[in-house]
Amino acid sequence: MAQDYAGPRRESVGIIGFGAIGRRLAERFSNDREGPLLAALLVRERDVAMASAVAPGAAITTDTGSFVAARPDVVVECASPDTLKTEAPAMLAAGCDIIPLSLGAFADPVAERTLRDAALRGPGRIEIPAGALGSIGFLAAARENGLEKVTVTVGYPLERWAAMEAGRFVDLRSIRAASVFMQASARRVALSFPGHLNVVTAAAMAGLGLDETEVVLVADPDARQAWFRIDAVSDSGPVSLRVGGREAPVEEDPVDYTTFSVIRLVKRRSAPIAI
């Protein structure tokens, strides 16, 4: 006897971290009646009350064991590189897939090996999101056909660079026009700005890797929010992609494509037509 089709299985999601991105993801998934189910949040003690208010149906915990016990199918990490390095191996071993946002963890060769080895052992796997770029599919495709050069250019307003302590490398007060102040490998750039520039690591991992991807950093006094450009050359031809910042004051929280690239990845996992 034919059985009624109940539709695709709703995956359960866990979120590590409750900063701006973690909060936005929790709000979206806790209010989504048809998408993935929000199973658990792993947060700091100070965030427990707020997380409970945002996601009353999820397990809110400060303990890794309790978080894993909630059995999330996929875990979104949006806390810190140290958190990713510390928590990911055990969660992968428990069968949780991980979508990491703190990709700067991969810049440390030892941490990169640890994370890659843990993913190889499984059974959980790591899926790299595009983050602020919105898409890195063209780089991964080009890698299959003679990808030979990738340059990632990142521009930030002076205030943002100052907050990231770029003053170690350039006198920001003297800049009057968009100026390049660093040109180096993706690994060196990621190590120079820990906790930032995850977009650089995502592009490098999709394409030629952290040591072979060239990064250009631009201090742009005319920019109001971040902008990114990727230029790549492969046997399929040259490709350029530019993502501009929103027209919003520099001090505002930059609601870029990062949150929404994660939402897309999570929804895609169980969508009847995956796009």
Per-residue pLDDT at 175 exceeds 90? yes
**DSSP-based three-state secondary structure for 99:** strand
- Which amino acid does the sequence have at 140? A
CA atoms within 13 Å, Cβ hemisphere of 28: 19
Q: In whole angstroms, how large is the CA radius of gyration of the chain?
A: 19
Measure the N-to-C terminal CA separation of the chain; round to a whole number of Å. 33
Q: What is the pLDDT of residue 219?
A: 96
* pTM as predicted: 0.89
φ, ψ at 184 (rounded to 5°): -160, 180
Q: Regarding beta strands 214-219 and 179-185, do their DSSP bridges make them parallel or antiparallel, or are they unpaired?
A: antiparallel
Determine the angle formed by the axes of helices 20-30 and 258-268, rounding to 10 degrees: 40
Q: What is the pLDDT of residue 171?
A: 94
Cβ atoms 186, 204 nearer than 8 A: yes
Q: What is the pLDDT of residue 253?
A: 66
Residues contacting 177, CB < 8 A, separation 6+:
221, 222
Measured CA distances, 54 to 23, 31, 184, 256, 266 (Å): 8, 9, 41, 21, 19
pLDDT, one tens digit per residue, over 125-156 is 999 998 888 778 889 999 999 999 999 999 99
pLDDT, one tens digit per residue, over 86-134 is 999 999 999 999 999 999 999 999 999 999 999 999 999 999 998 888 7
Domains, in order of start, for the chain: 12-130+257-268 (3.40.50.720), 134-243 (3.30.360.10)
**DSSP string covering 183-194, please?**
EEEHHHHHHHST
Question: Which band of pLDDT confidence, cut at 50, 70 and 90, is reported for residue 5?
Answer: very low
Supply the mean pLDDT for the chain: 90
d(CA 223, CA 173): 15
d(CA 225, CA 233): 27
Of 250 and 155, which is predicted with more confidence? 155
Q: What is the pLDDT of residue 195?
A: 84
Per-residue pLDDT at 193 exceeds 80? yes
Give the ranges where 42-80 is alpha helix by DSSP (H): 48-54, 64-69
Q: What is the pLDDT of residue 250?
A: 61
d(CA 121, CA 259): 28
pLDDT, one tens digit per residue, over 22-41 is 999 999 999 887 778 999 99
pLDDT, one tens digit per residue, over 157-171 is 999 999 999 999 999
pLDDT, one tens digit per residue, over 53-71 is 999 999 999 999 999 999 9
